[in-house]
Each structure stands twice: as structure tokens, then as C-alpha cells.
Amino acid sequence: MKKLFLIFTLLCALVVLVSGCGSFSNPPGSTGGNLGNTGSSGGTVQAFTVSLEHEGKKYIPDNNLKAQWYDGSGYKQAEFNSEGVASITGLDGDYSVTLDGLDDRFTYNPNIYFVSNDERDVTITLHTLTPTDGRGEVYHEHYIYGVGYYRATFNSDYEMQRGIFFAYVPLNKGIYTVESYVDLTLNEVNPKLNVYVGNRNYAGNIQRCVDDGSLSSNFTKNFKYEVEVKTVSQSVYYRFAVIFESRSPVSYPFNIDFELRYQSEAGEAEPPVRSVPKPSEEDFTERRSQFSAKGLNWQPSGWTYADINKYYYADLFRFNNEDGLWHVWNKDTNSYGAILWAKIKKDNNVFQTESQTGFADGLVSTNYVNGYNYDSFISNYSANVNGDGCYPVTAELKEFLQNFAINQRYFMDGRGWAEDLGFKATEESQWLFACGYYTADIYL
């Protein structure tokens, strides 16, 4: 009998060992993730947790609020318990953390909270929304009387295009910032800020449309607008309208939250950061002549993207100082192969536009790309592409593509837009997202 008991015990231990070698996936729709994510303390499952704070104190929600973990491909959810903690096991990797079902009294920045296997716990700070009066129309704006967190509520497509109007009369000199908080993980809505000139009795014209400056994704680009107030009086009247565009129909009412923040006293800090103009240095006429002199075809055939099974490897390409272009690199013969081209005026595998004109599309912003204004740059390159909308990759073009990929966060440790489409790249290989070569383009 003792022998049978010993055999039974050994079999149970073997089952435990075998099951520990893999992981068990919960059924579709389950919020528990994958089991088997154990820590170093005796195989104990370690949970990922989310807590909340408001005005420096722990906050316990009184509604069915849920925390969401997003890994670039899908969401996992867990409700907050009576102690104000949302907990989940089975996660493995890096995640963005957002909320689902937050009380209408509050807002938060959904784009700054992340967890990983090394940092599993996070606390989200909630902010109370400041109420406003007015109707949100021109001459009947929502009046803002101080810094804080505000909400633009849209009730129709007409309001989406016209905008919800706000007006602010600053009480103090200084640098102020208006910044939107639209969730990047959804990537469906793009907010914009129309800044007007005028006074209380004259709405004036749109001085500037701000459609970037803060955290952004491929489509969603949070706006951030800075202004220095040098004079304080009742005649100094700041009018702006929040608008947005959407890739799919939205359900109304639809909200866009933003923060009006006092940065510093006037003159205390550097003036608001503006993007540095980055003109092109390429001699486009000379480039055509170079191709003609070498017997190269400006319109080759047989296009192939630069990825290998959706992976980008920069070491497969090399810059040729003799012709000033990037090429496919043949490691076996240590020689340059086909010239590398970039899709400039045509869409690529990573992003598509409604006009199918790539970087030349009006909705693709290039005026603030990692601190540089590439509007003139990209306009010049767009005017000199071949029939496929492509241009050979120069040193400066490679730099633009790298800055663009970083600015758009295409590759962000599994949370980037390109990674959501299945593409992968090392830090130094991001620029290849729009590149490829022609198989018939044999370098002479």
C-alpha cells in the first residue's frame, strides 16, 4: 500500500513538472491572460496591478471601472476591487495601461502609463474636470477662468468639423500650454486645435492649426500648443476651438479632454520650442544626370520592400560614399548591390493615406518631426520622384525617415504602430519602413 502511495505521489510531481514547462491560455474573451507567468519565489504567480490616486490620495472607484493592459495586439481587463486595486495574472511582456469606464467627473493622461515584467505595478493619477459655461460656439464660447483639465463634448459631425470653442483671459503673464489627452492605443481619432486671432467682439481668422507637438501614433497625434502671455488685461482674449477627424464613425456624445497648464513666468524659461527648418541639400538635377551617365534606369522594375519577413535589418544595406546613396550590401562579395529607394509620394507597407500620396498627403504632418520642420524638404523630394513616387535614399533622406519613424513611434518595444502590423526593427533600422529596391536595378 505504501508502495502504491509512493508511485501516486511521484506521478503527481511529474504532472506538476510537465505542466510547469508550458503555459495555459484562457478561453477567448477571458480577462485573465495566460497562466504560468511565475516569479522567482517558489513558482508563485506574480500579478500586474493598477492603483489610482486623486489629489495626492488613494482613490477607490464607486463604479464598474476597469483597468486595461494593451500589448499592441489586444486588451486584457480587470475590475478594481473594494481596495481600489485592479489585478491580473498571466501577462508577459510590455503593456500600455489605460482605463475603461472612468467616472465623467475625472480625466487622466492615457498615454504615459506602462508596465513590464520588471515593473508590474502602476498608479494612475486622476484629475477633476473643471466645469465651464457657454455653448461652445463662436461668441458663446465655453469660458475658462483658470488652468486645469477640460472637456470638449461633440454631439454631431457638424460640431466635429466646426469645433467646440473655448475662450480664456489669463490672469497672469507667463507661458501657457494647451495639450490634448487622446488615447493612442485606439489610434482612431486625430484631435486638432484651431487658434484664432481677434477679440471679444470679433472672432477673427484661424491663426494656426495645431495638429501635433505631443505624444502621437500613426493617425492619432495629440496637439500641444504653447503661447507666451506678455500682457494681462481684459482685452487679451484667447479663443481656440477643438476639432477632430476620425477614421471610422464615432458614437455621440464624443469627448476630447485637454489640459490648460501654466508653464512658467514670462522670460523665466526659453521661448516655446519650435521645430527647426530642415531644407533639402540634394541636387536633384545632378542626381538625374548621375543616373544617365552610369546607364542606370530612373524607373526600374521589380519592386521589393526592404524587410525580411517583416523584419528590418540595417546591416543588409550600406552607404556608398562614391555616389552618395544607400545600397543593398552583398556580404559574400563585399560589394554594393541595387540602389535603395524610398516611397515618398506613394503609400508604403506601414501607413496608407486616403489620397495614396504618402508623405505628400495633406494629413501627414512633417512640420514637427523629432524637432525639425521637414515641410520644404519633403515638398522638394516629392517634386522629383520617379513614376512610382520613389526617390533614391540619400544620407539626408535616411535621416528624415529615421526621425519620422521615431516621432511617430512606429517601433516602441512592441507598442508601436508598425509593430501592431507585425513589423519589427532595431533602433538603428527604423528608417527602412518606407524603403525598398528594384530587382532589375543592377548597380553598374
Would you state the pLDDT for residue 4? 38
User: Distances from the Cα of 88 to the Cαs of 22, 37, 48, 81, 350, in angstroms?
Assistant: 19, 11, 5, 12, 32
d(CA 342, CA 306): 10
Question: What DSSP state is assigned to residue 72?
Answer: S
Please give the pLDDT value at position 387.
94
Residue 325's Cβ-side half-sphere holds a number of Cα atoms within 13 Å equal to 22
The reply to whether the predicted model has a pTM over 0.85 is: no
Kindly provide the b/e burial profile for residues 287-307, where b requires at least 16 CB atoms within 10 angstroms of the residue's own CB. Answer: beeebeeeebeeebeeeebbb
- For residue 49, the 8-state DSSP code is E
10-residue mean pLDDT series, the chain (444 residues): 38 37 28 34 73 96 94 93 96 95 96 94 97 90 92 95 90 89 94 79 70 89 88 74 94 96 64 70 96 92 94 96 95 93 94 83 76 90 96 97 85 73 92 92 48
Give the sign of the dihedral formed by CA 179, CA 184, CA 189, CA 190: positive
At residue 196, the pLDDT reads 81
Q: How far is CA 357 from CA 48, 195, 220, 284, 374, in A?
A: 43, 28, 19, 20, 16
d(CA 272, CA 291) in angstroms, rounded, equals 44
If one counts every other C-beta atom within 10 angstroms of the C-beta of residue 140, the result is 12
pLDDT for 430 equals 95
What pLDDT, in 10s, does the model give residues 46-55?
899 999 999 9
Positive or negative torsion for Cα 302, 303, 309, 313: positive
**In this structure, what is the dihedral angle of CA atoms 392, 394, 398, 403, given to the nearest 10 degrees?**
-110
Q: How far is Cα of residue 372 from the mean position of the Cα atoms in its chain?
A: 17
pLDDT at 443: 47
Closest-CA residue to 169 (of 269, 270, 274, 260) = 260
How does pLDDT run across 176-202, given as a tens digit for each residue? 999 999 999 999 999 999 988 666 665
Task: Name the 3-class secondary structure at 14.
Answer: helix
Tell me the CA distances in angstroms from 210 to 207, 260, 357, one per residue in order: 10, 15, 22
For residue 5, what pLDDT is reported?
A: 38
Instruction: Please name which of 40, 47, 42, 46 lies closest in space to residue 16, comparing C-alpha atoms.
Output: 42
Rounded to whole angstroms, how far apart are CA atoms 86 and 175?
38
